[in-house]
Amino acid sequence: MKVLITGGGGFLGYRLAQAIAARGSLTGRDGTAQKVAGISLLDTAFPANVDARFKCITGDLSAPGVIDQALDRDTDAVFHLAAVVSGGAEADFDLGMRVNLDGTRMLLEACRKLAAPPRLVFASSVAAFGGDLPPVLDDSTTPNPQTSYGMQKVVGEYLVTDYTRKGFIDGRSLRLPTIVVRPGKPNLAASSFASGIIREPLNGEPSALPVPDTTGVWLLSPGKVIDAFIHAHELPNSAWGVNRVVNLPGITVTVREMLAALGRVAGAATAARVTYQPDERIQKIVKTWPAGFRTDRALALGFKADSDFEDVVREYVKDQGLRI
């Protein structure tokens, strides 16, 4: 069992690699557990001191030859997480098209040429939805993205589904909620604040909130999304049928509720490090994202959400070894 993770140098991709390595096996084409013989990570940059068990390929997914370096002829499992994030793809349309659309297509074409069709788990996004939305979305809601990033993710889903129908791959697409709390630095994602308002105060730093605190966020913790990637891979082909896309479960929390949970975990003085500094560009993107979901199909397939946001904050504190 050989595994490739695109975006494997990023926070989620690297954590997924560690989780698969710790697990030691994944389900193969024949439905039995197969020992993981190798994990390749493709990304433009990697953390310092990468685990020596991982083979790292440094490069742009959409640059000629890079994917060929990352895929072996007998790669069995591909987790496709690499992407230019929402704010980045909106600011630079051509870059988003090249990496998010062309890069995905190049990866699918390379998978098609392997010895046998690999299982492929594609990280799509709740940014697929937008426009005139019902208050609560469900599995029948039609994607109508209001960002180029969301459009590129939806197009990726349709490609994954058709490549699967044609038998070129065995694909499964997951629409990820906003992942909170991400460690590290703020990034260009319009949702970056949702982690920043927890992470920075816990580090003793101020944090700017670009949206009103009544804003609802549909979110999932890093731990649960890693579980979801692996669960999506492990489900048999027959569990998916002709519909290869699923909205992952999550919880809806307003910014105000997030800050209250932070206060309960780390004290009111910590939560008070967040100040409202309106940013119209961010607000314009975030307000197109839905906050309320029914995810019956995902729950029936065995995907799981977090229990509440206080647990999400406590998980982050524990993962980071913070003292509060």
Q: Which residues of this protein are in contact with its own copies, per CB under 8 A?
A: 93, 130-132, 140-146, 148, 151, 154-155, 158-159, 161-162, 165-166, 241-243
Measured from the CB atom, the residue of 243 and 320 that comes closer to its own copies is 243
According to DSSP, the β-strands at 25-27 and 33-35 are antiparallel
Task: Exactly one of 149, 158, 163, 316 is catalytic; name it.
Answer: 149
Helix, strand, coil fractions of the chain, as percent rounded to 5: 40, 20, 40
Question: 322 forms bridges with which residues in the sheet?
Answer: none
Q: Cα–Cα distance between 306 and 224 in angstroms, integer?
A: 7
Which has the closest alpha carbon to 40: 11, 83, 8?
8
Measured from the CB atom, the residue of 154 and 313 that comes closer to its own copies is 154
Least separation, in Å, of the C-beta of 97 and its own copies? 8
Query: Which residues of 177-257 form beta strands (DSSP E)?
Result: 178-179, 207-209, 216-220, 245-247, 251-254
Active-site annotation holds for 149: yes
Least separation, in Å, of the C-beta of 147 and its own copies? 8
Q: Which two tokens stand for residue 106?
A: 């190049």
Measured from the CB atom, the residue of 19 and 133 that comes closer to its own copies is 133
Measured from the CB atom, the residue of 57 and 89 that comes closer to its own copies is 89
Q: What is the CA radius of gyration of the chain?
A: 19
Least separation, in Å, of the C-beta of 154 and its own copies? 6
Least separation, in Å, of the C-beta of 19 and its own copies? 31
Measured from the CB atom, the residue of 156 and 210 that comes closer to its own copies is 156
Which has the closest alpha carbon to 247: 291, 288, 282?
291
Least separation, in Å, of the C-beta of 227 and its own copies? 27
Could you tell me the CA-to-CA distances from 149 to 16, 92, 120 in Å, in that order? 22, 10, 20
* Active centre residues (catalytic): 149
